[in-house]
Amino acid sequence: MPMNAPPLYAVVSHIVNQIALEIRLRRVLRDFTLGVLVSGSCLLEDVAHALRPRGTMSSQYRRLQRFLSNDRIDIRQLQREWTQIIIQIMQPEQLLLLVDETALSDHLKVMVLGIWVPGGCIPIAWRSYQATDYPAEGQARLIADLIDRVRDAFPVPLPTLLLADRGIGTSPHLIQAVEQERGIDILFRVQQTCLFRHWDTAHTVALKDLAAQGQVWQGVGDVFKKAGWLPLVATVAQAPGYDQPWCLVSSVTIDPSLYRRRFYQEVSFRDLKSDGFQWHRSHVWVPDHADRLLLVLALAYALVMLVGQALPPATTGRQSRLSTFRRGLESIRDLFRPTIAALLPPPLPPPRMTCVVQ
């Protein structure tokens, strides 16, 4: 993607026009996304300032507020369409899904399902809830619902793998819901105290007891005794110099180094927050409003990653130390701040007037 205004504006417009919203809401979504990109912030005051070419700050602020509070915007349906768009752009050979929960100050928590991309993780399905009011169906059903929202958008027979950390992955209910009921392979980190039963000897041992410095142990057997034992592949990997091993369970035999990609979801949360769009300072604490804001941020984040990936490699200086996201965001902001004026297409020329003399 060449780094100049017309292509970026056209790309945003092209993506937004694929989303099933009425034209007025698509225009707000487009401008909201452009304002976030230019200002490098999702704070409504900052976005409204960047949108001044569209009208006064106060009018733009109210326009953004109305979008976030519009309960006619079906976020579940939009997440499915957004997933289709991202997969069409990426054209992956394998779909690597990451799931984790993040907190917005003390007000909200958000469970996010994302697609791994080099250097980051693009949100595709999410649900916000009050920090003190966890969804009644529990974590496993919550994550399963997020998968169901977007599963129809997954190309068949594209291999799909879900990664989760031990705070989420130590759950036989989630493993059954994802692997057995939905046919998606899993690679989960689990607690070190999880018991493993060898198929050949029926010997039972805690996974942590299979760890050895600098070595990888892998075996097929049963895990989760209290759940009636689930047949899985167990992997215990401990890198030299690390105190704790990775205790992993997976649907199939897999290279444990693949689990490193799960950390890119934490990187993406940081990009959406303090390193990028200041999501944690948004003051949008109503769950439905927060869900709509994250749609804007997911779109902006994906565009920043595309711009960053299109930049020439940097081998020296400060740029060589920056992430793909930071390089992309700085490129956009350096060219287009403080408002979206440089992004807007040129106005149409005035109509030609012909004077006829009688």
Does 355 score more than 60 pLDDT? no
- Report CA-CA distances (Å) from 168 to 70, 101, 113, 223: 32, 9, 12, 16
Token code pair at residue 130: 């009050």
pLDDT tens digits, 87-103: 999 888 899 999 999 99
Neighbours of 255 (CB within 10 A): 12
Where is pLDDT greater, at 237 or 341? 237
Q: What's the rounded Cα separation, in Å, for the pair 196 and 207?
A: 6
CA angle 47, 112, 155 (to 5 degrees): 105
Q: Percentage of the chain surpassing pLDDT 90? A: 77
Q: Is the pLDDT assigned to residue 234 strictly greater than 60? A: yes
Calculate the average pLDDT of the chain.
91
This prediction's pTM: 0.91
When pLDDT is cut at 50, 70 and 90, the band that residue 123 belongs to is very high
Distance (Å, whole) CA 37 – CA 307: 11
pLDDT at 156 over 90: no
For the segment 153-159, the average pLDDT, to the nearest whole number, is 90
Q: What is the pLDDT of residue 318?
A: 77
Tell me the mean pLDDT in the region 293-309.
Answer: 95
What average pLDDT score do residues 194-215 get?
91
Q: What is the pLDDT of residue 349?
A: 64
The whole-number pLDDT of residue 1 equals 42
Using CA atoms, how far apart are residues 251 and 176, in angstroms rounded to an integer? 11
Q: Give the lowest-confidence range in 102-116, 162-176, 277-291, 337-351.
A: 337-351
CA distance 248 to 237: 8
Q: Measure the CA–CA gap between 75 and 125, rounded to whole angstroms.
A: 9
pLDDT at 357 (0 to 100): 52
Confidence of residue 2 (pLDDT cuts 50, 70, 90): very low
pLDDT at 242: 85
User: Given a cut of 70, is residue 354 above it in pLDDT?
Assistant: no
Alpha-carbon separation of residue 179 from 26, 158, 191, 250 (angstroms): 36, 15, 19, 10
Res. 336 pLDDT band, cuts 50 70 90: confident
Q: What per-residue confidence (pLDDT) applies to 350?
A: 62
Task: Report how far residue 207's alpha carbon sits from residue 232's, in angstroms, rounded to the nearest whole number.
Answer: 13
> For the chain, what are the domain ranges?
5-74+285-343
Instruction: Indicate whether 3 pLDDT > 50.
Output: no
User: Higher pLDDT residue, 291 or 344?
Assistant: 291
Answer whether residue 352 shows pLDDT above 70.
Answer: no
